[in-house]
Chains A and B, each alone.
Chain A
Amino acid sequence: RKEVEQDPGPFNVPEGATVAFNCTYSNSASQSFFWYRQDCRKEPKLLMSVYSSGNEDGRFTAQLNRASQYISLLIRDSKLSDSATYLCVVKGGGFKTIFGAGTRLFVKA
């Protein structure tokens, strides 16, 4: 079983749609969680951290469920520019950083 698992997609949605991605992790001792965005053939960039209480940044909402060991990302009012791969990232104590393989999103006009 992979340490961090994501549905690879692709998710094809029209502009303005709401789309949600889930990610599961295997290590219950994981301490911090993030969503990164990676555009085609570019480097990953931090989208948002994920807090236990849930957090929102504009059209993006992230949730963490420690009991079920999954995190989620909700994108409202999708834009063409949201098309990218979304990487779920989990950290334990220290520097160990585990990336998921990513979920591909295509937003179409």
Chain B
Amino acid sequence: AQKVTQAQTEISVVEKEDVTLDCVYETRDTTYYLFWYKQPPSGELVFLIRRNSFDEQNEISGRYSWNFQKSTSSFNFTITASQVVDSAVYFCALSEPMEYGNKLVFGAGTILRVKS
């Protein structure tokens, strides 16, 4: 069965610090997709990134960057120069294929608190 582990339950940083959120996954599939979602206090799930298993290039989007390493089954997320608005719960997820479609298997989430 597929599994996603986010070992960091909660992280607190001061504004402008860099922070890395860890994600380790388990799967037997050779083709799979990984995701990061942000859940702000308002509750909605905000899509941040999708990465397929064949693309190990790191990705940067503004202050966000992602490090995908198949060798260690990790897909870590770094926020550079954190801001108070980054305070949220962040979920890493793995797409698990079903007969029709794919379900998302989520990690437990990491609560990020950015203090001013």
Whether both chains belong to one complex is answered with no
